[in-house]
Amino acid sequence: MHIVDGVLGPPVLIGASLLAVAGVARGLSALDTESIPRAGLLTAVFFIASLVHVPIGPSSAHLMLTGLMGLLLGWAAFPAVLVGLLLQAAFFGFGGLTVIGANTLNLALPAVLIGLLARHVLARFDISPRSATLLVAGFFVGALSFGASALSVAGVLALSGSEFLAAARLILIVQIPVMLVEGAITAATLRLLLTVRPELLPAVAGDRLFATEHTQEA
Partner 1 sequence: MQIVDALSDRTGHGPLRALDPRLRIAAAALFALVVVSLSDRVALLTALGLAIALMLAARLPAVPTLRRMAAMDGFMLAILLMLPFTVPGTPIFAWGGFSASAQGLAKAVEILLKANAVVLVLLALVGSLDAVTLGHALARLRMPANLVQLLFFTVRYIGVIGEEYARLRTAMRARGFRPSNSLHTYRSIGYLLGMLLVRSLERSERILAAMRCRGFQGRFYPLDDFAYGRADALFAGLALMTFACLLIVDRVHVTAV
Pick out residues in 143-172 that bind partner 1 (CB under 8 A).
Answer: 157, 163-167, 170-171
* Min separation Cβ 153 and partner 1, Å: 8
CB 72 within 8 A of CB 209: yes
User: Please, which of residues 102-141 interact with partner 1 by CB under 8 A?
Assistant: none
Q: Count of residues binding partner 1 (CB under 8 A)?
A: 79
Listed in sequence order, the residues at least 6 apart from 14 whose beta carbon sits closer than 8 Å to its beta carbon are none
Among 34, 120, 132, 198, binds partner 1 (CB under 8 A): 34
- Residue closer to partner 1 by CB (options 45, 124) is 45
* Min separation Cβ 59 and partner 1, Å: 8
Determine the interface stretch with partner 1 among 31-39, 106-114, 117-125 (rule: CB under 8 A): 31-39
Q: Which amino acid is at 212?
A: T
User: Please, which of residues 188-217 interact with partner 1 by CB under 8 A?
Assistant: 188-193, 196-197, 200, 213
CA angle 13, 15, 16 (to 5 degrees): 65
Please give the Cα distance from 148 to 151 (Å, whole number).
Answer: 5
* Min separation Cβ 125 and partner 1, Å: 21
User: Please, which of residues 58-97 interact with partner 1 by CB under 8 A?
Assistant: 59, 63, 65, 72, 79-80, 82-84, 86-87, 89-94, 96-97
H helical segments located in the chain: 10-29, 36-49, 66-73, 77-87, 100-124, 132-160, 165-196, 200-205, 212-217
CB 157 within 8 A of CB 3: yes
Q: Does 24 bind partner 1 (CB under 8 A)?
A: yes
CB 12 within 8 A of CB 160: yes
